[in-house]
Amino acid sequence: MTQMNADNITTNRRQFLSAALAGLSQKGDKQVTGGFVFESQNLGHLIRDRKAFQQPAHREKVPVVIVGGGMAGLSAAWRFGKRGFKDYVLLEMEPDAGGNARWGENEVSRYPWAAHYVPVPNKSSVLVRELFEELGLFRDGRWDERHLCHSPQERLFLHGRWQEGLEPEIAATKNDHDQYKAFEQRIAEFRDSGQFTVPLELKAQLSVLDQINFRDWLKQNKFTSPYLNWYADYSCRDDYGSASEETSAWAGIHYFASREHEEKGPLTWPEGNGWIAKRLIEKAAGHIRKNEMVRRIERAGTSWRVVTSKTIYDADAVVFAAPSFLSSYLIEGGDKFEGFEYSPWLTANLTLDRMPEEKGSELAWDNVIYGSPSLGYVVATHQSVASRINRSVWTYYLPLASEAPAVARKRLLGMDWGTWKEYILNDLERAHPSIRQCVSRIDMFRNGHAMVRPVPGFLGNASRLQAAKGGGGLEFANSDVSGISIFEQAQYRGVLAADRVLRRVGRR
Ligand SMILES: Cc1cc2nc3c(=O)[nH]c(=O)nc-3n(C[C@H](O)[C@H](O)[C@H](O)COP(=O)(O)OP(=O)(O)OC[C@H]3O[C@@H](n4cnc5c(N)ncnc54)[C@H](O)[C@@H]3O)c2cc1C
């Protein structure tokens, strides 16, 4: 569990608000419009507060119900399609499926609301390769260049200017460089050990590395360079939404050691992983029921009853692809998922009417500001082949990682749009002094339980291992069952759950 004392919380809160308020509107700023999107917290709170609801009159018998239309639920549906199985419905509470791979579009570009890339899959990521071949991303032994991230991919704002790449270089000392090298060597050894796989279920096993946090592991191994420690912390916040001291050292190492060296990639699109979601949604056409939130799941002998506000479904099996912690609220007699923590995130899409001035390396796809609590921004128009881009959409990513999740969640929902707008512009202003003259619109997505955190001990977490086993016609499929929230894990769990369900339905 996250350990935070009251002093820490107060200090963080003060720092947080002063960062938000320091840049409050100055004269001559462009007017910025926008608002919050996907505000479904109130729906979620109906479940949390176990609010009574009217049982629907409509009843339907269907062999399989998939709960949740994120990448895991959509991947289960993909597997059903590949196996020629059509007797299922997928229930999604939001107006559209996609979950964390949702996307949007305006007059300037399509853009992601959360997930925005997939690394070029290793040979061991068999399912990802199968899907990507089917979608035409991999043909005749080659990745389609249009979907590989164009150069320049990443840059870092440090000491007043932009540098290429994310490993801090400006003013790096010999000691920093020695430590980068030593760290790379350790990571290469871990990679060679073969246990840091994607999906991690292929080889991951209980490990002492999972008993400590990543920051302590760095300290124990004499990795003291502030630059290296920043980079490690940034990586944890990037993939897991948690600081390095809240992340299992095993997971921290997995981020670096799980990928074979690949010159190319990652795969990315203007709408991020929405590009994949859209195609999976098309494949599941006719099976997806949107705006249909599951309120209750009950056992009925050896079958299941899934209740929404519209329909009671009598099913032989359920693929539970909504976040697993919801099961203790939704499933009759459902287990509490002890030790599962979820990171709150704010993402924002900024529409720019012109590009700001800047110093140093040119605009990249991924743009990170050293020392910022945010991860910076990704440029939706980056893959465009146009020689000059005047207008763009930037997706700004902020994991609320510096506080205990429950405290951060309150702040996320408690701060109004105007205060968040100032927070974001003030953060970006460090690297782009003229940003306020460029941005005309900022839309924001507040996601309270955005992704599971691989906290120390996650590999051996009893609830996680129990959920991963499944059985009894109810299969947990959300990526959180793997303890790591990435596309590959969502797909793996979705497909695994689909296969288990098919075996059960087949037997019947
Ligand atoms: C800000 C952010 C950035 C990310 N970036 C990347 C990235 O670049 N690359 C990457 O690989 N991964 C990224 N991820 C991780 C991402 O979470 C996974 O890749 C993946 O999309 C998770 O899919 P999922 O299906 O497991 O869960 P989710 O996407 O959370 O899907 C759960 C679904 O269940 C639905 N649901 C919930 N409750 C109910 C109910 N009661 N009834 C019906 N439906 C319900 C939800 O609406 C949702 O659609 C990012 C995550 C975040 C938050």
Would you list the DSSP string of 154-183?
A: EEEEETTEEEESSS--TT--HHHHHHHHHH
Taking alpha carbons only, the member of 508, 496, 500 closest to residue 473 is 500
Q: Judge if 432 and 356 occupy the same domain.
A: yes
pLDDT at residue 14 in the model? 46
Full-model pTM: 0.94
Burial of 344 (0-12, 13-18, 19+ CB in 10 A): buried
Distance from the alpha carbon of residue 220 to the mean position of ligand 1, in angstroms: 34
Distance from the alpha carbon of residue 219 to the mean position of ligand 1, in angstroms: 33
Query: Which residue's CA is minimally distant from atom 52 of ligand 1?
Result: 114
Q: Using the structure block, give the residue that is written with the tokens 């590959």.
A: 488
In a domain, 264, yes or no: no
Distance from the alpha carbon of residue 479 to the mean position of ligand 1, in angstroms: 8
Q: Judge if 320 and 349 occupy the same domain.
A: no
In a domain, 489, yes or no: yes
Query: Which residue's CA is minimally distant from atom 38 of ligand 1?
Result: 322
Query: Which residue's CA is minimally distant from atom 50 of ligand 1?
Result: 115
Q: Judge if 413 and 378 occupy the same domain.
A: yes
In a domain, 109, yes or no: no
Q: Report the number of secondary-structure helices (H) and strands (E) in the chain.
A: 14, 23
In a domain, 141, yes or no: no
Whether the bond into 199 is cis, omega within 30 of 0: yes
Q: How far is residue 50's CA from residue 398's CA, in Å, rounded to a whole number? A: 30
Domain range for 21 is 6-42+342-452
How many domains would you assign to the chain?
A: 2
Q: Measured from the CB, is residue 280 less than 6 Å from ligand 1?
A: no
Q: Judge if 305 and 352 occupy the same domain.
A: no
Each of the 508 residues of the chain gets a pLDDT tens digit; together they read 333 333 333 334 444 444 444 444 555 678 999 999 998 888 888 888 888 888 899 999 999 999 999 999 999 999 999 999 999 999 999 999 999 999 999 999 999 999 999 999 999 999 999 999 999 999 999 999 999 999 999 999 999 999 999 999 999 999 999 999 999 999 999 999 999 999 999 999 899 999 999 999 999 999 999 999 999 999 999 999 999 999 999 999 999 999 887 778 899 999 999 999 999 999 999 999 999 999 999 999 999 999 998 999 999 999 999 999 999 999 988 888 888 999 999 999 999 999 999 999 999 999 999 999 999 999 999 998 776 778 999 999 999 999 999 999 999 999 999 999 999 999 999 999 999 999 999 999 999 999 999 999 999 999 999 999 999 999 999 999 999 999 999 999 999 999 999 999 986 6
Distance from the alpha carbon of residue 275 to the mean position of ligand 1, in angstroms: 14
**What are the tokens at 242?**
């948690």
Q: Judge if 479 and 445 occupy the same domain.
A: no
pLDDT at residue 27 in the model? 53
Residues 95, 101, 107, CA angle at the centre, nearest 5°?
A: 75
Burial of 430 (0-12, 13-18, 19+ CB in 10 A): middle
- Within 75-179, strands assigned E span 88-91, 103-105, 110-112, 117-118, 138-139, 142-143, 154-158, 161-164
List of residues 6+ apart from 356 with CB closer than 8 A:
432, 433, 434, 435, 437, 438
Q: Measured from the CB, is residue 397 less than 6 Å from ligand 1?
A: yes
Pair type for strands 377-379 and 161-164: unpaired
In a domain, 404, yes or no: yes
Q: How far is residue 374's CA from residue 237's CA, in Å, rounded to a whole number? A: 9
Whether the bond into 270 is cis, omega within 30 of 0: no
Q: How far is residue 113's CA from residue 95's CA, in Å, rounded to a whole number? A: 15
Q: Measured from the CB, is residue 368 less than 6 Å from ligand 1?
A: no
Domain end call among 432, 452, 472: 452
Q: Measured from the CB, is residue 294 less than 6 Å from ligand 1?
A: yes
pLDDT at residue 264 in the model? 84
Domain end call among 452, 472, 498: 452
Taking alpha carbons only, the member of 166, 253, 257, 259 closest to residue 214 is 253
In a domain, 387, yes or no: yes
CATH number for the domain spanning 435: value is 3.90.660
Distance from the alpha carbon of residue 11 to the mean position of ligand 1, in angstroms: 31
Q: Judge if 461 and 336 occupy the same domain.
A: yes
In a domain, 234, yes or no: no
Q: Judge if 348 and 433 occupy the same domain.
A: yes
Q: Judge if 334 and 466 occupy the same domain.
A: yes
Q: Measured from the CB, is residue 68 less than 6 Å from ligand 1?
A: yes
Distance from the alpha carbon of residue 240 to the mean position of ligand 1, in angstroms: 13
Q: Judge if 302 and 438 occupy the same domain.
A: no
**What are the tokens at 350?**
């900024």
pLDDT at residue 21 in the model? 45
Distance from the alpha carbon of residue 390 to the mean position of ligand 1, in angstroms: 32
Query: Which residue's CA is minimally distant from atom 41 of ligand 1?
Result: 294
Q: Judge if 350 and 426 occupy the same domain.
A: yes
Q: Judge if 75 and 96 occupy the same domain.
A: yes
Q: Judge if 314 and 412 occupy the same domain.
A: no
Query: Which residue's CA is minimally distant from atom 45 of ligand 1?
Result: 68
Q: Measured from the CB, is residue 478 less than 6 Å from ligand 1?
A: yes
CATH number for the domain spanning 503: value is 3.50.50.60
In a domain, 402, yes or no: yes
